[in-house]
Structure 1
Amino acid sequence: MTPPTTAGPTLIGSVRRAMRLLEAVAEDPSRSTAKHLARRTDIPIGTTYHLLRTLTHDGYLHRVGGRYLISAATARLGGAVPEQTSARDLQAWLDSLRDETGAAIYYAWYEEGEVRMVAQSSGPRAPACEEWADFRRTAHAHAIGQCLLSQLDPEARRDHLARHPVEPLTPYTVPDAEALLRKLARLRRGQPVQEREEYAPGTVCAAIPISVGTVPAALALSLPMPRADLLDPLSHHLRRQAETAFTSKAFTVRV
């Protein structure tokens, strides 16, 4: 008996649509919401949601806020992800930056809708900012969180702030969500994000956005208030160091 032919084209069509979605996500991860992907690929929105859920469930995509991003496993299929940097190498690099700047250094990324502090380097001459309020819950107040939120699309930013509302931590904390969104909208691409005593009294911070793969990441430093005059020059030094390291692929997002 000849097998039915209806299933073949249907399955092939689904595979083709899934591949188009993966290609669209890889081409423009900054706007990879379901609605944008549906418009970009001309796939009906219901089908788009179904395929995105399947691709996410099977590990080909992961969802960050309102966006869908290529997973490391999918990127490796195309040889897009170089060998992972070891945690030891990353820590050694952060330690060298700490010694160069005399500031505490931090490395973080935004994953599955949350701020994740990956590594940090500090010492007696470069004390770390004390995490007295959960970094994940207070992204609106510290430079790392603001830097990571600046790399999200407007929908993903509002989604984050809906889950973690703006709250005053110090007299200098941004007063509300709209004020924060205006600040983020004014930032130029690649510009260091600075905050002065918004998260912790007596501490100033700067963070550098890092474009590596599809995961928003940030490299940051903090200084005690008496050294606040060094925030500008050190943040630009940190930016140059980050550009050199990540452009040369000395480091990757995953460690």
Structure 2
Amino acid sequence: MSDMATTAAEKSSTSVPPGQVQSIARAFTVLETVARAEHPVGVTEISEASGVPTGTVYRMARTLTELGYLRKDGRSKYTIGGRVLVLTKASTDYVAALARPHLDELAALFGETVALGTLQDDAIMYLAQAAGRRTIRMFTSLGERIHPHCTAIGKALLADREDAEVQALLRRTGMPRYTDQTITDEQHFLDVLGATRERGYALNEGEQEEGMRCIAIRLPYAAKPLGFSLSAPTARMSDATIAGYLPHLRQKAEQLTDELYEYTSSY
């Protein structure tokens, strides 16, 4: 049995202490099992890892998905849903606090603005940023909700989803135009996501702010959709410059992911 399975099984609520409500205890066991998984998990895997019966897991997962605490993909696999972040502001604050030293190092190294963002309730929300030292630079409003189709982080995070799920999101949110470069055609956007998957990083070519170019990568963290972005005026962001930035962004993404897993495994 994996470490994740052992930990969850040890905490399983198949035998609930007096005074606890079994259905609530089991729902949290299912939620925590999915959160600890390093990849999307199905009902059987959740049951084996948690010790909760399969039928109960199915009902709990369906309810948690309807409420937004879990997300179900086209293969009937589950990951954590965006609504988990609203359970406690402290959780978001802690993620941001872990990220800030890494963002500060990257901003100091390159002199450009670097940010951490997430996809929550169909919108990109920036959790932390470190401003570049250049006079002309990009500023990001923390907590502001932004359409994902016009941001590099949005593309990086949506590239991890199946096309049908992306299409459903775009039809809910629309694809408003912000600049002449904004992608407003659904199929064009899906093609761009395909290129993003092949390349391993996302680009924003002045699609939200004219004259600005942005790159973004997804953190290899299964419990939350998180991404790093680096933004600068187009004149300072040649393809060669981006190639030099990427190894550092990926290294910091790995380091932050390790810290996040260390934090969550302590509970």
TM-score by length of 1: 0.66
Say what the alpha-carbon RMSD is for the aligned residues: 4.4
Letter in 1 for 2:248: H
Does 19-28 or 231-240 show the bigger shift?
Answer: 19-28
- Residue ranges of structure 1 left out of the alignment (5+ in a row): 1-11, 73-80
Deviations, residues 166-191 of structure 1 (Å, cap 9, x unaligned): 23222222241111112213333781
What corresponds to 1:120 in structure 2? 129
CA displacement at 1:114 relative to structure 2 = 2.8
Count of residue correspondences: 224
| Residue ranges of structure 2 left out of the alignment (5+ in a row) | 1-21, 48-53, 86-90
Cα deviation, 1:85-136, whole Å, max 9, x if unaligned, reads 572x53233122101111100101123333221011114417543569x963
Q: Structure 1 residues 55, 172: CA separation in 2 closer, same or farther (over 3 Å shift)? A: closer
Q: Distance in 2 between the 1:143 and 1:154 partners?
A: 17
Which residues of 2 match residues 1-255 of structure 1 at below 5 A? Answer: 30=40, 50-52=59-61, 54-55=63-64, 62-64=69-71, 69=80, 84=94, 87=97, 89-125=98-134, 127-130=136-139, 136-188=145-197, 191-229=200-238, 230-247=241-258, 249=260
How far apart are residue 159 of structure 1 and its match? Answer: 2.8
CA distance in 1, matches of 2:36, 2:99: 26
- State how far apart, in whole Å, the 2-side matches of 1:126 and 1:104 are: 11
Specify whether residues 159 and 95 from structure 1 end up closer, same or farther in structure 2 by C-alpha distance, changes over 3 A only.
Answer: same
Report the residue type matching 2:118 in the other structure: W
Structure whose alpha-carbon radius of gyration is higher: 1
- CA–CA distance in structure 2, aligned partners of residues 22 and 68 of structure 1: 11
Distance 1:53 1:191 in 2: 32
Is 2:215–2:230's contact at 8 Å kept on the other side of the alignment?
yes
Query: How many percent identity over aligned positions?
Result: 21
Q: Aligned with 2:150: secondary structure?
A: coil
Task: Deviation per CA, 1:125-151: give whole Å up to 9, x if none.
Answer: 17543569x963421011011112122
1:232, distance to aligned residue in structure 2 (A) = 2.9
TM-score, normalised with respect to structure 2: 0.64
Distance 2:31 2:151 in 1: 34
Instruction: Return the alpha-carbon distance in structure 2 between the equivalents of residues 164 and 180 of structure 1.
Output: 14
Report the CA distance between 1:198 and its aligned residue. 1.7
